[in-house]
Amino acid sequence: MVNAAYAIVALPLLGFAINLVWGRKLGEPVAGWVGTIAAAGSFVATLIVWVTELGKPATGRVNDLNIFSWFPVAGLHANFGILIDPLSMTMALFVTGVSTLIHLYSIGYMHRDPGFDRFFIYLNLFLFSMVVLVLGDNFLFSFLGWEGVGFCSYGLVGFWFQREVAAVAAKKAFVTNRVGDMGFLLAMFLMFAHFGSVNYSQVLGTLVHGHATGLLAGATGAISGTTATAITMLLFLGAVGKSAQLPLFIWLPDAMEGPTPISALIHAATMVTAGVYLMSRAAPLLHYAHATSWLIAIVGTASAFVAATVACAQDDIKKALAYSTISQLGYMFMAVGAGDYADGLFHMLTHAFFKALLFLGAGAVIHAMADNQDMKWMGALRPYLPITGATFAVGWLAISGIPPFAGFWSKDAVLSSVWQMNKGLWAVGVLTAGLTAYYMSRQFALVFMGRARWQDGRPAHAAVTAGQVGAHPAGHGGHEAGGPGLPAPSHSAVPHPADPSWTMYLPLIVLAVAAVLGGGINFPAWHLDFLSRFLKPLFPTATVISVSTGTKWALSILTTAIALTGLALGLSTWRTAEHPALEPSFLRRAWRIDEAVAAMVSGPLRMGANMLAFVMDSRVVDGVVNGTAGFMGLSGRALRRVQNGYVRSYALGIGTGLVIILAYLTFRIGG
Amino acid sequence: MSGLVRLLTPLAAFPGASVPHVLSPTGGSCTIDGVTGQITGLCTAKGSISLPINYAALVPIFVLFGGALLLLLLSATLPRKSYASPWPSLPGLWASLTSLAGVGTVVDGLVQWHDVGAASVVPITLGDQLFYDHMSAFFTIMFGAATVLGALMSDGYLVREGLDGPEPYVLMLSASTGAVLMAQAAGLITLFIGLEILSISLYAMTAYHRRRAASGEAGLKYFVLGSFASAIFIYGAALIYGATGSTQYLGIITFLISNAVVHNGVLLAGMGLVIVGLAFKVAAVPFHFWSPDVYQGAPTPFVGYMAAVAKAGGFAGLLRVLMLALPTQTSNWRPIIWGLAVASVVFGSVLALAQSDLKRLLAYSSVSQAGYVLIGLQPGTPGGVTAVCFYLFTYTFMVIGTFAIVGVLQGRGEARNDLSSVRGLAARSPWLAAGLLVLLLGQAGIPLTSGFLGKWVVIAAAIDKGQYALGLVGMLGAAIAAFFYLRVALLMFMPAEPTTATVEAEVPAMAYAGSDLQSVATAGLTGRDTVLVLRAPPTSRLRVPGPTAAVVALCVVFTIFAGVSTPLLSLSHAIALPWYF
């Protein structure tokens, strides 16, 4: 078991190393298979560990395996260790599982890309970092993974860095995340100041233990509400950045410039859920920070709603899904804020299935549409792409919350917890559920139903982002960088859509099955709530959901009814592609939040920055630095004269040193 | 002083040890007439029967020096031809045998480490001349490792330069013997013997490149200045003997404890001279003048070996003398070490900034590294001992790896030592560039390398003793050092094509061969720090001999290993545990 736990981390690293060294030589598709096998091995190792864990009593499922200690000095024990517990296992299972499927899919998707091996290097490094993030046994080690996934995200968003848009998007993602990382770092400093440690077992364990025995006041695990609030608020800032919540969500839609498998893996299924994981991990702290819980719930609700409205007005198939991801992450944060961590994670799991499915399906569509991402230009693709269409339909119904698909169960559980917390938030959540059904139906209708608009030739809209240019330099004509303001890609020929190769549709089918049956892992009746029971020992502080069965039924029926309404509206409206009234530019442009941030940044912030840069930095700091460097260089040159190559000079130097020392010692004599 | 008492106890429990030359009536069938002193029967000197010789302590010396003798014997009996390996990935005969001796030393060092952990082992042996403790075992491992690495990286170089033969390896083995002796020495005389064995071997190694005038010149300079330093050292030892009546560390400290010797001029002068003698060996400012010239002139792999071993040997001596023999004089020697440390860190770093020759740059950088070790020595605490030992061990690997790479880069005849020879290395040989990057980052003290931990423990030791200024100097020095290390690292990733007009380097008159020694020794021809010039970077294919590649890989792996994990640090802690005061 222990060895398998190490293998979870080691295998992706090994795959990364192999591809880093020999990737170019292995080439396509061997490099891809190496990466996929490494990911699959990691998944199998996770399964082994998980099954072993299941064999233990529910309270004994926490294992802390130290890999090595890094400078155990001055009280800071920076141990790099693996923490095996139900939460990390849940995360590791779906991360490695979904990741394996996406690795496999990428072999087909990245076919003929000149950066094939580079892609898999990043993918394996990403998986390694993500696994470190979720398996790390302390905040510092997890932070290492946190930064690692951030870096890989940067590398993969800008994978086709020859394109200006992609490079800019990558930078934007990176910079925006830095804001959140600052919160994470400050939280760690605070934690260390308060607990003298950043280990989960020491920071959180004492709290859980103290709570369980009711010894909190005065005990070592005691923490004041203020400190807990400060730490959790800062952690949440990190989570907001990584999980793309208001107002730091602006990087995620732009991140869709990356290859579609990346959007599926990093920007939908795994990395963006790191924030939810972090907050769930910090659950014992959140118990003492009600203000943070409220903030989390409110930010989550607001993000869910805002992003859902924006998703209703997007033309780019991937951008619509990106906003939908923000919205779904909002649901997860709602659950965390409501203290129902298990259901937050439940929704994270089901979301990983259906969102990965939708993105991969979108990738197949984009592939079939000659790398065009404009939904307004698609249509009636169902007969051409039978497998993609069917699986996409499953994802669509799952995310819309239609029973018995996975999304229904998890969203329902989240909403009933929120109902207990606050009816207002719940109402927004239900409204968002309706919007979700609406925009997903709109997407499905635009892509798979209606008229085959792509047979007309050129796309109708200028606002088309042409993806995958770098992927297929030959064959699809010269569509340069897309994006608003740039000329639409010109298509020399009408595409001939068809289902992709097996490496691409196999993951679709597997994910579709998961998206249908995923609800079963936490079925709310007949003692089938496996996930909740599995996670329960870890969240003794979780809010007990005491909504009566009758109310639950009522809530479920209401939510489902609203979802079905949204579904019907979406399907019936979007049989034709043009409804300008339903797509106000306010929504198209994401409530202009991006512009607002940009104005803020380029206005007062820029002035301040300019002042710092041109006055403070160039005069004062640079002056000091350059002055020091100049002085050093000057003194270096002056001193060099002493080193003239003559032995007698050297002997004189040594003699002088000796005389100085002896002179000093003379003063010490007798006194 | 409780540790010292502990150390002295086994000796006190051994009757007669303090009164040698007295014949023992109990030793055998012998009687002494009380009145006349007439001896009948067979008597033995009291000390000589019972003074236990722990041969385990001598094994490294046997292995290393025996290895040297074996090499000489073999070279005399085997037909006179090159025993270079026909396979480039394997070392030749001489290098193999030398590294075998080195491996034996490392293994024996490990055995010793295990052995001396036992409480029953007396930490001093061979008539009180040698220490047999954790520190000697630690340094034995270090010197053994340096011998292995030094021999392996010399192989390719010597073959390339057409210098292959048993002699340099014999010298290397005897140098290691001297270094081990320095670490084991329990008295100033033994220390001096070790110092001389080490130094003389190094002089010869420095001058070994027959066809490079710079090499001979450097050897001569090193020899002249080294003799100067040795004389200073032995004079200091004599003064200390004059003041305390002993040259043995334990004799000195026993005297100083039992007699209140405060501010005694003879003792202080002796201490100052001994410090200067050893500071010369470790190349601390202002006793560093030899090092840039020697580093530039000596065959590159020997420089790596020398930088590691000479420094570590000197510091082993300083540790023992200052902390074991003269702990009562801390108030007097700590300010001296303070001054040396600050001067070394500051001047070493600043002068390294202005260098355009790679080997000179590394020479100044090693001066600054010596300053860091002095920062660890200055507090005079067990924590400082840990820091010094850890720092030296990690530095051994970093500096040897670096010089192994430089030896490859410079090409036949050491044609290219200028900074621009590393330009475009990343494109020419990504692996070598990656290795050099790690080693440079390590020496600069970037986290996740052993260099970071080394600087950390050294500065922490100073801070623990309240030496904030010293700690600050260490940190600032690291900032300056980062600049010149990273400049080299950056150059590796610059395109190999010359971007500016290339100027031929101002070649120091290295071809000044065959002149009389007098003029070479007095009017040095190398050694002037030449102005920064740009030369076109080399573009030819790099041929890395297998053993050298192995050395680089080993050094890189160790630098990362010791930087991210703590076993070595724990070992270093163990050295300080039974520290004798």
> Is residue A647 less than 8 Å (CB to CB) from chain B?
yes
Give the tens place of pLDDT for each residue, B382-441.
Answer: 889 999 999 999 999 999 999 999 999 888 888 888 888 888 888 888 889 999 999 999
Give the tens place of pLDDT for each residue, A308-360.
Answer: 888 888 888 888 888 999 999 999 999 998 888 888 888 998 998 898 889 88
**What's phi and psi for B399, nearest 5 deg?**
-75, -35
Q: Quick one: B276 and B323 in the same domain?
A: yes
Query: Helix, strand, or coil here: A222?
Result: coil
Residue A547 maps to a domain = yes
pLDDT > 80? residue B290 = yes
- The pLDDT score that the predictor gives to residue B372 is 95
**Measured CA distances, B358 to B88, B353, B491, B506 (Å):** 26, 11, 12, 15
Q: Quick one: A330 and A392 in the same domain?
A: yes
């995923």: which residue's tokens? Answer: A518
Calculated CA dihedral for residues B129, B133, B139, B143, nearest 10 degrees: 70
Residue B498 maps to a domain = yes
CA distance A420 to A414: 10
Average pLDDT over residues B62-72: 94
User: Could you list the residue range(s) of the whole structural domain that residue A620 is in?
Assistant: 589-638
Average pLDDT over residues A467-496: 40
pLDDT > 50? residue B524 = no
The token pair that represents A510 in the structure block? 């597997």
Q: Quick one: A466 and A594 in the same domain?
A: no
Which of B273, B318, B367, B529 should one mutate to test binding to chain A, selecting the residue with the greatest count of A CBs within 10 A? B529
Which of A132, A637, A662, A665 should one mutate to test binding to chain B, selecting the residue with the greatest count of B CBs within 10 A? A665
Q: Which helix (H) or strand (E) holds B131?
A: strand B130-131
CB contact under 8 A, A636 and B354: yes
Residue B511 maps to a domain = no
Q: Quick one: B397 and B336 in the same domain?
A: yes
Residue A521 maps to a domain = yes
Residue A262 maps to a domain = no
Q: Quick one: A512 and A647 in the same domain?
A: no
Q: Quick one: A596 and A647 in the same domain?
A: no
Q: Quick one: A646 and A564 in the same domain?
A: no
Give the tens place of pLDDT for each residue, B189-243.
Answer: 999 999 999 999 999 999 999 888 899 999 999 999 999 999 999 999 999 999 9
DSSP lists the bridge partners of residue B32 as B39
Q: Quick one: B39 and B64 in the same domain?
A: no
Which residues, at least 6 apart from B440, have a Cβ–Cβ distance to it below 8 Å?
B402, B485, B486, B488, B489
Q: Quick one: B37 and B76 in the same domain?
A: no
Q: Quick one: B565 and B446 in the same domain?
A: yes
Q: Tell me what percent of the residues of chain B surpass a pLDDT of 70.
A: 82
ipTM: 0.81
Residue A512 maps to a domain = yes
CB contact under 8 A, B351 and A68: no
Q: Quick one: B297 and B446 in the same domain?
A: yes
pLDDT > 50? residue B17 = no
Q: Quick one: A594 and A501 in the same domain?
A: no
Q: Quick one: B196 and B134 in the same domain?
A: yes
Mean pLDDT of chain B: 83
Q: Quick one: A455 and A563 in the same domain?
A: yes
Cα B178 from chain centroid? 10
User: Could you list the residue range(s) of the whole structural domain that residue B43 is in?
Assistant: 2-50
CA distance B473 to B475: 5
Task: Give the domain-ending residue among A527, A560, A588.
Answer: A588
CB contact under 8 A, A664 and B335: yes
B34-63 residues touching A, CB cutoff 8 A = none
Give the tens place of pLDDT for each residue, B462-518.
Answer: 998 888 999 999 998 888 888 889 888 888 888 765 544 444 343 343 333 333 333
Q: Quick one: B546 and B532 in the same domain?
A: yes
Q: Kindly indicate the confidence band of residue B448, based on its pLDDT and cuts at 50, 70 and 90.
A: confident
Q: Kindly indicate the confidence band of residue A462, based on its pLDDT and cuts at 50, 70 and 90.
A: very low
CB contact under 8 A, B221 and A661: no
Residue A618 maps to a domain = yes
**Measured CA distances, B83 to A113, B204, B434, B489 (Å):** 51, 21, 32, 36
Q: Quick one: B79 and B24 in the same domain?
A: no
Q: CA-based angle A430:A434:A436, to the nearest 5?
A: 110
> Can you give A27-92 as a three-state secondary structure string?
HHHHHHHHHHHHHHHHHHHHHHHHHHHHCCCHHHCCEEEEEEEEEEECCEEEEEEEEECHHHHHHH
* Residue whose C-alpha is closest to residue A62's, from A5, A23, A14: A5
């061979």: which residue's tokens? Answer: B126
- The pLDDT score that the predictor gives to residue B164 is 86
Q: Is residue A525 within 8 Å of residue A320, measured between CB atoms?
A: no
Q: Quick one: A375 and A421 in the same domain?
A: yes
Query: Helix, strand, or coil here: A158?
Result: coil
Residue B513 maps to a domain = no
Q: Quick one: A660 and A620 in the same domain?
A: no
Residue A511 maps to a domain = yes
> How many structural domains does chain B have?
2
Q: Quick one: A576 and A659 in the same domain?
A: no
Q: Is residue A305 within 8 Å of residue A329, measured between CB atoms?
A: no
Q: Is residue A223 within 8 Å of residue A285, measured between CB atoms?
A: yes
Q: Tell me what percent of the residues of chain A surpass a pLDDT of 90.
A: 8
> How many structural domains does chain A have?
3
CA distance B456 to B448: 12
CA distance A408 to A555: 12
- Nearest CB to B263; choose among A80, A639, A669: A669
Q: Kindly indicate the confidence band of residue B540, based on its pLDDT and cuts at 50, 70 and 90.
A: low
Q: Quick one: A577 and A602 in the same domain?
A: no
Which residues, at least 6 apart from A622, have a Cβ–Cβ distance to it below 8 Å?
none
Q: Quick one: B12 and B152 in the same domain?
A: no
Residue A426 maps to a domain = yes
CA distance A325 to A327: 5
> Is residue A662 less than 8 Å (CB to CB) from chain B?
yes
CA-nearest residue of chain A to B351?
A636
> Is residue B287 less than 8 Å (CB to CB) from chain A?
yes
CA-nearest residue of chain B to A647?
B522
Q: What pTM value is reported for the model?
A: 0.67
Q: Is residue A240 within 8 Å of residue A248, measured between CB atoms?
A: yes
Q: Quick one: A433 and A327 in the same domain?
A: yes
DSSP lists the bridge partners of residue A64 as A83
Of the two residues B26 and A486, the one the predictor is more confident about is B26
- The pLDDT score that the predictor gives to residue A226 is 80
Q: Quick one: B9 and B84 in the same domain?
A: no
Which residues, at least 6 apart from B86, have a Cβ–Cβ distance to it below 8 Å?
none
Q: Quick one: B28 and B63 in the same domain?
A: no
Q: Kindly indicate the confidence band of residue A245, based on its pLDDT and cuts at 50, 70 and 90.
A: confident
Beta carbons within 10 angstroms of residue A398's beta carbon: 32
Residue A286 maps to a domain = no
Q: At what angle do helices A274-281 and A225-242 cross, to 10 degrees?
A: 170
* Residue whose C-alpha is closest to residue A360's, from A508, A256, A466: A508
> Is residue B290 less than 8 Å (CB to CB) from chain A?
yes
